[in-house]
Amino acid sequence: MPELPEVQTVVDDLNKKVLGRKIAGVWLDWPKAIKDPLDQSKTKIAHKHVEIFKKSVVGKKILAIKRRAKNILIYLSGDLLLLIHQKMTGHMLVGKWKIDGKKVIPIEPKAVVEDSYNRFIHLLFYLDNGQMLALSDVRKFAKAILGKTKQIENLPELVKLGPEPLDSKFKYENFQKIISSEHRKIKQVLMDPEVIAGIGNIYSDEILWEAKIHPLKPAHKLNSAQLKTLWNAMRKILVKAVKMRGTSSSDFRDTAGEKGNYTDALLVYQRENEPCNRCGEKIQRLKNVGGRSAHFCPQCQKI
């Protein structure tokens, strides 16, 4: 699933490419991607609801684009807010496509045309400058929710989120208090969006390796020195990953259809049995740590 660096990369791109544009039309072939903000549990979305979604966004101007945790928030004129969550395999693209029956044919840019991971287009917004904003999602888990600004901003999935790890208002003292109160394994804590927003499987592994902390270490047993090291590691890794435009170890692509550069900088994630860059010991993988795997160095990250 795209994490903070990947989603921030998309948001930064969209602010450069589509900010200020008007939505001229909408095409979609997967109505289930459109969720009712009042009842997202519905497995079937009424045809009427999809038509309302289309009519509501057409003619609206894109006023602002922000990130909250792993959510993309597109503020529209008319006091509307469009939330897009890319889920496991979704990514946003800006380019041009042609609809031929049930086929979505890519025209540009080059990476969108050539990379097979960009071909699963299920939602398209036509923009007033001839460009298109698209959602590609091979597994069809991504969702789009449209509503009044306050309605969307007050959705439980946003209200319950923890602080943003790179927010200047989020100080070390807050971080220390939050982590020290947790009795779960530190890997689980870092991945919990209600504790800290935006960190998932990839970057929790990278952060813990950087901090030399074992993923199974109970969070409340970290001493003050370890907590400070973890704080610095978290900010260092996330800032670097944003600068390098995220990780594409799976199917993440940026808005031009290109892979993120942090894939080549990974030091522990998905490097099982490879030598640790710090000590040479083989990287190990633990299964089912909060429902995910955990990669770590048994020499550098002793429990």
Catalytic residue, candidates 2, 5, 106, 165: 2
Helix (H, G, I), strand (E, B) or coil at 124: strand
User: What are the tokens at 5?
Assistant: 């660096």
For residues 11 and 6, what is the distance between their CA atoms, to the nearest angstrom? 9
For residues 3 and 256, what is the distance between their CA atoms, to the nearest angstrom? 18
Residue 184 bears catalytic tag: no
Query: Helix 224-243 crosses helix 4-17 at what angle (to 10 degrees)?
Result: 40
Residue 70 bears catalytic tag: yes
Q: How many residues does the chain have?
A: 303
Answer whether 124's CB lies under 8 Å from 104's CB: yes
Catalytic residue, candidates 3, 6, 206, 258: 3
For residues 19 and 75, what is the distance between their CA atoms, to the nearest angstrom? 10
Residue 272 bears catalytic tag: no
Catalytic residue, candidates 22, 212, 240, 292: 292
DSSP 118: G
DSSP output for 163-209: --TT-TT--HHHHHHHHHT--SBHHHHHH-TTTSTT--HHHHHHHHH
Q: How many CA atoms lie within 13 A of 281 on its CB side?
A: 14
Catalytic residue, candidates 70, 143, 185, 253: 70
Q: Determine which helix (DSSP H) or strand (DSSP E) holds 240, and give its type and residue range.
A: helix 224-243
Residue 2 bears catalytic tag: yes
Q: Which residues are catalytic?
A: 2-3, 70, 292
